[in-house]
Structure formats: C-alpha cells, structure tokens
Structure 1
Amino acid sequence: ALLMAFGCLMAPVWAFANGSGVLWKMLTAPGLMMVFALTILATGSRAGLLVGVLAVVIGFVLTWRRIRHVLHRAPGWVFPTLIAGVIAAMAIVVLLSVAADRAVSIDRVMAMDAGQDMRHRGLPTVIEMIRSYFPVGSGLGGFDPLFRMHEPFALLKPTYFNHAHNDFLEIVLDTGLVGLLLLITAIIWWGWASVRVWRDQGDRVVLLARLGSAMILLVLLASLFDYPARTPTMMALLVVAAVWLAKGANRAAEVETADDLGFTARRHTSIAVDAR
C-alpha cells in the first residue's frame, strides 16, 4: 500500500517534471493514480488508506503551479474544474470498488475493534520491554523470540507477533539509546532539509527534492503502524528519496549563500559610495 502511495506522489511529478508537461503524460497520470488508489483499497491496509489519501493531496500540491502554468492561457474556471473533475473521478472509482466488495481496506476500517487489534493489545508489553532493555537495547533482529519471552498469557494465540508494528518503538527496543539518537538525528535532518526545499523556488531539482521529502514523510507516518522501512524495496526507495532531498537542500543552501554574499557586497558598495 505504501508503494502504491509512492506511485500517487510520483505520477503527477512524472507528468510535469519538465515544466510545461507532455500531453500524453498529463492524460496518463490521473489514470495511474486511480489504479494505484484501487490497489491500495485491495491490499486491506488501513494505514495505506491514510498515506494514500495524503499522497494524492501532496501530489497535487507538488505540481499545481506547473499545472497552472500549462493552463495559463485557458479561462480561469478551467483549472478548478479540472481538479474537481479528477477528484470526482477518483471518488466514483472508489465507490465502485466499495460496491463491488473489492475495497478490503475500507472493510477492515469499518470492522475494526481497537480492543482486539494486536497492535493496541501488544503496546503495553512492548513499552515494558523497552524499559527493561534501555539504554543498551535488546539487539537487532530478535523481536519475535523476545516478545514471546515477555508475552502475557492474555495475548497468547495461534499466530505470532513478528514486529512491534511501530518501528520507532522497535528501533529504540532493538538499539537502545544509540538508535534513539540516530533516529532523532535523521528526523531532524529530514525536517531541516524539507524546510529548505519547500521554501525554495526552483526547477526540476527542487521538485524532485520535494518529492523525496514527501516520500520520507509517508514512510515516517506508515512506521507508526507498521514496519515498511525494514523491507528491501522500501530501503532502496528511501535512499533514492534521501538523495533527491539532499541534492535539493544543498542547492537551496548554495542559492541562499549566494544571495547573502550578493546582499553583503551590495551593502558594502553602498557604504563606500555614501562615504565618498
């Protein structure tokens, strides 16, 4: 589901990455987003619904300036009508999926009982385990047997609890204080770099950097309920997203430095002229 949410982010960026947009890409992107949305519904992932909706919204935010640029010669009503049409089409497709009993994610949300959800029931045990092993940590890769050592009788069942389903907590459990500090450092870097690229007015590099920032945001949100970053595909995509974000942040920093130097030079010149 998170992979399909990435698709909802990437489709509009792919269509408008070169600025003006290509007609066949502009027509294909909304169709791709609908396919990705339907796939998210079919996965049965409840967290996927959250990141999927957020991805669609951010995808439009990433490219709305470029869409407006493409439609700058069209009447003013064309742009909001186009956006409303795309949203309406996606809503109709989702409703058809629900009517056809293919929206498993929505079905699971409607049938959800927080008291019976293992994520909720196992959380107190996970927190108690963190307290027991902090600050050293329990070691990487041992959550399954470790949880069975601490599992209360009330949680016993035929299936097993393979991960904490909150990767932030599991990282702290596995790696202790060192992992917590690394995690905080990574999130601070993501926040700092994201602020830089979202403030910058730039070209394709900035657009890809914003895309990378949004992809990491979706992973962080999904990690509150699952453990997506522990899978090889997500690891690889996280690296790509981080490279895009770092490149855009460095570009924004260089532009800010050049602007500061230019301002300083103009100020010194003005002072010299006044002195004369």
Structure 2
Amino acid sequence: MKPQDGLPAIFLTLCVLLGGASAAGAIANGFLQLAAILILGYVGVTRRLPLVPAARALVMGLALFGAWFLLQSLPLPPEIWTRLPGRGVVVGVFAAAGSIPGWEPLSLAPDATIASMLALLPPAAMATLTLVTTERARRIAIGTLVTLAIGAALLGVVQVLAGAGSVFYPYNLTNPGKAVGPFANRNHLATFLLCAIAMLGASIEHHGPRRSALAFLGVAVLAGGVILTGSDAGLLLLAVVLTPMLIRAIRGHLTRQATRWSLVAAVLLVSAASICAFWQGSSDVVAGAEQRRGVTIPRTFAAAIDHLPFGAGGGSFPTIYPAYTDAALASPAFVNHAHSDYAELLLDHGLVGLLLIGAAWGWWGLRVRTGWAGNPVVRAALMVVAIVLVHSVVDYPLRTAALATVAAFAAALATGQPPAVAKKHHRSRPSRQLSATFDLS
C-alpha cells in the first residue's frame, strides 16, 4: 500500500481519537489543525484533479464560510459597528469608562471567531483529501471508520461498567457514568455510531450473504452502543436508519441461513443493550446532568433575533448567552452551546447562518435526487450527512473535530467525485483484505 493511500484513514483516526470535545482538548485540536494545514498544502502541491459540480460546490462552500469568519474578525470604524444591532452594551461600556469607541471587529468575541475559523481546517482537509485520493484509499478509510466506531461502542460498555470517575473517560467535562466512547458527550458517540451503521449498510446491500452476515454483527454492536448512550435523538435516528436497512436485507438475504443467524444475533445483542440502558437510566439520580434544550434553544433564538442581520460572531454563544439567562435560576452549570446548531448558527452568523443552513440542505437534496440510485457508497454517505444534519437540530455534533471530519468525509464521498487513478503496484496482503472488504464498486 502506498503511504498516501493510508493518509485519509490515518487523519480520520487522529481526528476521532483526539477531537472528541468542543470545549476541552485545546492542545489536541491545535495539533489536528496543524496537521490539516500540512495536508491541505500537500494536496495543493501534489494533486490536481477536475472536480464534478457537487464537489466544487462543497469546496466553494467551505472556502466561503472560512472567508466569512475572516470578515467577521476584521476591524470596522466606529461609525459602522456602533450602529449594528446588539452592540449597545459595548457602546455603553465605552461610555461608562469615558472612552471613545475605536475600530472594532464585527464579532463580539473575536478570539472565539478566530478559533472557530481554525476549527474548519480539519474537516476541510478531510474533504479535500477524500476528493483527490484513490478508490482504495477511500475504502480503507471507510473500513477504518467502522473499526473505530466498533471500538468506541465497546469502550462505551467499559465506561458504563466502570462507573463515573473511572480512567476510561477521556475528558473531565463529560456525562459521568454514561457511554461516551472517545467523546465528551454521549450524544456525539450516538451520532458517530449511527454514521458507521449507515456505512455498513452499504456493505450489507452490495455484498453476498457471507460478508453481509459479518456486517450484520457489526451493525448489532453499533446499534447496541447507540442504545447504551441513552441519547433520545440517537434512539429515534437508530430506528430511522435500521428500518430501511433491514427491509432491504430481508428481501435480499432472508432465505440464506448465515444471514438468518446473524439477524438473530443482532436482535439478541440489541435487546441486551436495551435492558442495560434501561437499568442504567433507572439508577441515574444525578440532577442537572443534561442541559435543558427547552430553555437554551428558545433563548438562543431570542438572542439571534436581537443580533440580526449579521449575528454576534462565530463562537460568540458563551459570551452572549449569559445575558439572556434568568439570574434567579442561576446555577454552577456552564452552558457552552445551545444544544441546537441551527439556533447557534443564527446567533453567530445571522442571515449568513440561515443561508448556510439552507445551502447545506439544498446541496443534500440535489445529491439525493441525482445520486441516490447509483453507487451504494454515495447512498450511505448521503445517509451519514442526513444523520448529522438532523441531529444538529437538537445538538451540536459539528462543533467537534471528530464528527466534523466524519461529516466532511461523507460529504466528499456523496459528491460522486471519481477517484484518482492509482498506478499499478504490488499490494500487501493486509491492505488487499481491508480494501476488498469495503469494495462497493
């Protein structure tokens, strides 16, 4: 295997293992951003491929979003920024201090805006690398994604059995006693496992009964992991993802004995995980372990309306949100995100955020219309993108480098961009086996 064929899988692995938190892990995220810069430079120097329209739209969208972060960080004359909505408090601070307002950026949290712009680097690098790499490199990366997800699900089991405060939790700020895997948030583990289930579904649909039976067992482990997280949105999405997959499997493979036994094993594993999750939930007496979305989301929308049309700036939520809380109900709990990426995008970016949401769903809808009936990998990748977009309604998966990179990988696969043509060379046995496992062409 050529080293560059393993690069997407290696970078994906680093992002999943190091980028599982949005607020914590600053050093790890900084390392991933530096690696992303090197990858983008490598691709820019060594790879030149014509892009299909969907791929061009994806690259252009990422570039424009990064440019908007930069624009939010540029200083503006006081004649402009003092007249923008939501800037009255800042003007009042200058007046109370007896100072004359000077040049200030559009963002009310410029340091956080720069950090948010840098957070775009890992997903941008993953998407770009995926678009220009070979078919074998993509298959190896898919296999790596599924392997990492199964490992994450098993780690979640260990975390639940070990209990809160065990050494198996990678972050201090986390859901104690819950299955979080390599993440800080159990909902993010659920999203990650759902993405892997969607990719395994492509293998079940394409391959014969023997390999499909192994894929079914993998799906069972991943589904059990989703149930173990106790994520409400994860459980709902699990039903949505599994239903069409099982229908296709029953129609195509039910008469085959190997698949019948794998289905039985899948049902038993998922049932066991359900019982374990119910027991864990019934014994959970920790109050305030979850932020209430019914409170944070409406308040974030109210703040977003007050800062239209340009928003308060990327990453400004922790700065702006406290002003919209009820002081009488104050608690030590720290709300770092709105638990709805759509609401937070509107607060951070105003009408540009609304345009971004519409563009993401519009791009996905066009790709479903033109690419759903084609390659099963494209279809699975579109399911992954849909999982992330839907879960973002009540959570913030794309605020972590790990899930942002997974989503970017899936989006690149969903473009239908033809892979680079690999030169003939001798392939080692492990590389040949892993590549063949996810050969969905």
- TM-score, shorter chain, exceeding 0.5: yes
User: What amino acid is the match of 1:48?
Assistant: G
| Structure 1 pair 22–98 and aligned structure 2 pair: CA distance change class (3 A) | closer
Structure 1 residue 229, shift from structure 2 partner: 1.2
**1:86-119 CA-partner distances (Å, limit 9, x unpaired):** 66544433332344xx2169838x99x9xx9611
Would the aligned equivalents of 1:40 and 1:105 in 2 still touch at CA under 8 Å?
A: no
Q: How many residues align?
A: 225
User: Which position in structure 2 is the counterpart of 1:45?
Assistant: 231
Q: Distance in 1 between matches of 2:378 and 2:349?
A: 30
Structure 1 residue 176, shift from structure 2 partner: 0.7
- Say whether 1:2 aligns with 2:191: yes
**1:126-156 CA-partner distances (Å, limit 9, x unpaired):** 1210111011101111211211122112542
Q: What does residue range 134-145 of structure 1 map to in structure 2 within 5 Å?
A: 134-145=308-319
SS of the residue aligned with 1:135? coil
Structure 1 residue 34, shift from structure 2 partner: 1.2
Q: Distance in 2 between matches of 1:158 and 1:128?
A: 23
- Say whether 1:211 aligns with 2:356: no
User: What amino acid is the match of 1:5?
Assistant: L
Q: Distance in 2 between matches of 1:195 and 1:82?
A: 34
User: What amino acid is the match of 1:216?
Assistant: V
SS of the residue aligned with 2:416? helix
Q: Which residue, out of 385, 390, 393, partners 1:224?
A: 393
RMSD of Structure 2 on Structure 1 (CA)? 3.1
Q: Distance in 2 between matches of 1:84 and 1:134?
A: 56
**1:233-267 CA-partner distances (Å, limit 9, x unpaired):** 2111212211222117x9xxxxxxxxxxxxxxxxx
Q: Which residue, out of 346, 355, 359, partners 1:172?
A: 346
Would the aligned equivalents of 1:140 and 1:175 in 2 still touch at CA under 8 Å?
A: yes
Q: What does residue range 28-67 of structure 1 map to in structure 2 within 5 Å?
A: 28-60=214-246, 64=249
Would the aligned equivalents of 1:213 and 1:241 in 2 still touch at CA under 8 Å?
A: yes
User: What amino acid is the match of 1:217?
Assistant: A
Q: Which residue, out of 286, 289, 300, partners 1:126?
A: 300
- Say whether 1:243 aligns with 2:412: yes
Q: Distance in 2 between matches of 1:181 and 1:98?
A: 39
**1:183-241 CA-partner distances (Å, limit 9, x unpaired):** 2112111101111122x3x4xxx211111111111011110111001111211121221
User: What amino acid is the match of 2:277?
Assistant: A
Would the aligned equivalents of 1:41 and 1:104 in 2 still touch at CA under 8 Å?
A: no
Q: Distance in 2 between matches of 1:143 and 1:105?
A: 35
- Say whether 1:185 aligns with 2:359: yes
Q: Distance in 1 between matches of 2:309 and 2:416?
A: 34
| Structure 1 pair 106–210 and aligned structure 2 pair: CA distance change class (3 A) | farther
Q: Distance in 2 between matches of 1:60 and 1:222?
A: 22
Q: Distance in 2 between matches of 1:105 and 1:196?
A: 45
User: Which position in structure 2 is the counterpart of 1:253?
Assistant: none
SS of the residue aligned with 1:162? coil
SS of the residue aligned with 1:50? helix
Structure 1 residue 16, shift from structure 2 partner: 4.8
Structure 1 unaligned runs (5+)?
72-76, 251-276
What TM-score comes out, normalization by structure 1 length? 0.70
Q: Distance in 2 between matches of 1:210 and 1:183?
A: 21
Would the aligned equivalents of 1:46 and 1:106 in 2 still touch at CA under 8 Å?
A: no
User: What's the % identity of the aligned pairs?
Assistant: 26
Q: Distance in 1 between matches of 2:263 and 2:394?
A: 27
| Structure 1 pair 155–217 and aligned structure 2 pair: CA distance change class (3 A) | farther
**1:8-52 CA-partner distances (Å, limit 9, x unpaired):** 1122323454xx4372x2221111111111211222322111222
- Say whether 1:78 aligns with 2:267: no
Q: Distance in 2 between matches of 1:129 and 1:173?
A: 6
Structure 2 unaligned runs (5+)?
1-189, 419-441
Q: Distance in 1 between matches of 2:380 and 2:303?
A: 36
Bigger helix share: 1
More relative contact order, 1 or 2 (CA 8 Å, 6+ apart): 2
Q: Distance in 1 between matches of 2:227 and 2:204?
A: 24
Would the aligned equivalents of 1:97 and 1:103 in 2 still touch at CA under 8 Å?
A: yes
Moved over 4 A (4+): 81-89
User: What amino acid is the match of 2:381?
Assistant: G
SS of the residue aligned with 1:103? helix
